[in-house]
Structure 1
Amino acid sequence: MLFNKDMLRLYAITDRECLRGRDIVSQVEQAVLGGATIIQLRDKGLSQSEVIDTAKRLLPVCHSFGVPLIVNDDYTAALESGADGVHVGAEDASVAEIRRIAGEGFIIGATAKTVSQALLAQEQGADYLGVGAVFPSPTKTNAIRITPQQLTEICGSVHIPAVAIGGINRENVHVIKGCGQCGIAVVSAVFAAEDVKGAAADMRKAAEEVCS
């Protein structure tokens, strides 16, 4: 799938605890119907084979709406499942290594908490950045926080698009308006909702209001 920055507008990340036993495929479909423009499969409790199997189940849903599927951390699982890309942090395989193995056309996102990390990811061939945590995150309680000013600096330091992540919801999203991100990444704001489709629609509207 050919990547473009519009795919990042509402970046929805799955979470098993948020789903509370609900079927991941049906809930991802609801998120996409509501306006999610990209889906990341993130579940550190799954084995690699389970990640591959789950990604294969999600792909037909995502692709039927033209939405890319990204796998968190494990580029091998992403490649074996046929997913569109991977998102990696500083502790995972380097963007350069993944690009060398996966080639062009495979979407690679990288977490950046500093300008230097952002520049390195861009140099190594990342397609986009995930920048944060911009607010306290209920799903990553130990995540390092960054300020709106730092978000602005990081977004402005690179020419690849960036998505803001970390504890974003309808009540606080206005704080990052004008910081330069082209999208927002959310977990609980969509998947913890009783009405996932409605929550996604609400967050998509918010994303349109605060992203450039």
Structure 2
Amino acid sequence: MALRQAVDWSLYVVTDAGLSRGRSHVAVIEAAITGGATVVQYREKHAPTRQMVAEAQVLRELTRRTGVPLIVNDRLDVALAVDADGVHLGQDDMPAALARRLIGPDKILGISASTLAEALQAVQDGADYLGVGPIFATPTKPDAAPPIGIDGLRLIRQHVSLPIVAIGGINATNAAEVMAAGPDGIAVVSAVVAAEDIAVAAQELRAMVNASRQRREAASN
């Protein structure tokens, strides 16, 4: 329970083997954490289960050593097998309420939401945080829902008190605009994973998130 309450959602980096320029997941994530990533999601859509467990196990060792939460995308079995900190599920994956029963009360449960109705249902079903989006169109997830834009993000933020991580087409050119709508952090794939210098890309995004949060806090005082 303590971990679930203490997560810093500022910069949530999602793996993508197809965008990593031949670099391993562990090399990408190690550099991302060096640059300031605060949460890591292992996402692998095409590998055999045995390979996924092996890759996630290496990431588990890295993230445990660096104190960064590891979330596994979709595959609750893989998350449990490597003792990941949590699992993230989409609207077509295992129902959130069932997933919560399977992972127990202490693991992190993230749910993707692109509408207010989905967000409210996820809250009811026991989610710990929401991945809200796609904010903008993104080539990294061709089957994603239509972009909800900044207004869609702001609407969900107004009605949900759970931590929200905005995702979908977010990069250094629009991160500040996204953060102004009130999420707790941003989730990125290509903006970090595909960067020539991963650590620098992560550092720049983390600085933008921090600056946006400082502006928000100053405005509320």
Same fold (TM over 0.5): yes
Where do residues 75-86 of structure 1 align in structure 2 (5 Å cutoff)? Answer: 75-86=76-87
For the pair 1:165 / 2:170, whether they are aligned, the reply is no
Of residues 63-72 and 136-145 in structure 1, the stretch that sits farther from structure 2 once superposed is: 136-145
Which whole-Å CA distance do the structure 1 matches of 2:170 and 2:5 have between them? Answer: 22
Where do residues 1-212 of structure 1 align in structure 2 (5 Å cutoff)? Answer: 2-4=3-5, 6-143=7-144, 144-211=146-213
Per-residue Cα deviation, 1:78-109 (whole angstroms, up to 9, x for no partner): 00111111100010001100111111111010
Per-residue Cα deviation, 1:153-182 (whole angstroms, up to 9, x for no partner): 111211211010001000122322321200
Task: Give 1:27 deviation, angstroms.
Answer: 1.6
Task: Answer yes or no: is the 8 Å Cα contact 2:179–2:185 preserved in 1.
Answer: no
Task: Answer yes or no: is the 8 Å Cα contact 2:110–2:131 preserved in 1.
Answer: yes
Task: Give 1:141 deviation, angstroms.
Answer: 3.2
Of residues 91-100 and 170-179 in structure 1, the stretch that sits farther from structure 2 once superposed is: 170-179
Which whole-Å CA distance do the structure 2 matches of 1:92 and 1:176 have between them? Answer: 26
Instruction: Tell me the TM-score normalized by structure 1.
Output: 0.95
| 135 and 5 in structure 1: CA distance in 2 versus 1, 3 angstrom threshold | farther
Task: Give 1:4 deviation, angstroms.
Answer: 3.3
Per-residue Cα deviation, 1:22-44 (whole angstroms, up to 9, x for no partner): 12212211100110000000110
Per-residue Cα deviation, 1:93-129 (whole angstroms, up to 9, x for no partner): 0110011111111101000111110011011100000
Of residues 182-191 and 149-158 in structure 1, the stretch that sits farther from structure 2 once superposed is: 149-158
Counterpart of 2:219?
none
Instruction: Tell me the TM-score normalized by structure 2.
Output: 0.91
Structure 2 residue matching 1:8: 3-state secondary structure: coil
Which whole-Å CA distance do the structure 2 matches of 1:141 and 1:97 have between them? Answer: 27
- Equivalent pairs counted in the alignment come to 212
| 98 and 142 in structure 1: CA distance in 2 versus 1, 3 angstrom threshold | closer
Which whole-Å CA distance do the structure 2 matches of 1:16 and 1:64 have between them? Answer: 23
Structure 2 residue matching 1:2: 3-state secondary structure: helix
Gaps of 5+ in 1: none
Task: Answer yes or no: is the 8 Å Cα contact 1:176–1:210 preserved in 2.
Answer: no
Per-residue Cα deviation, 1:58-88 (whole angstroms, up to 9, x for no partner): 1111111110111100111100111111100
Identity %: 42
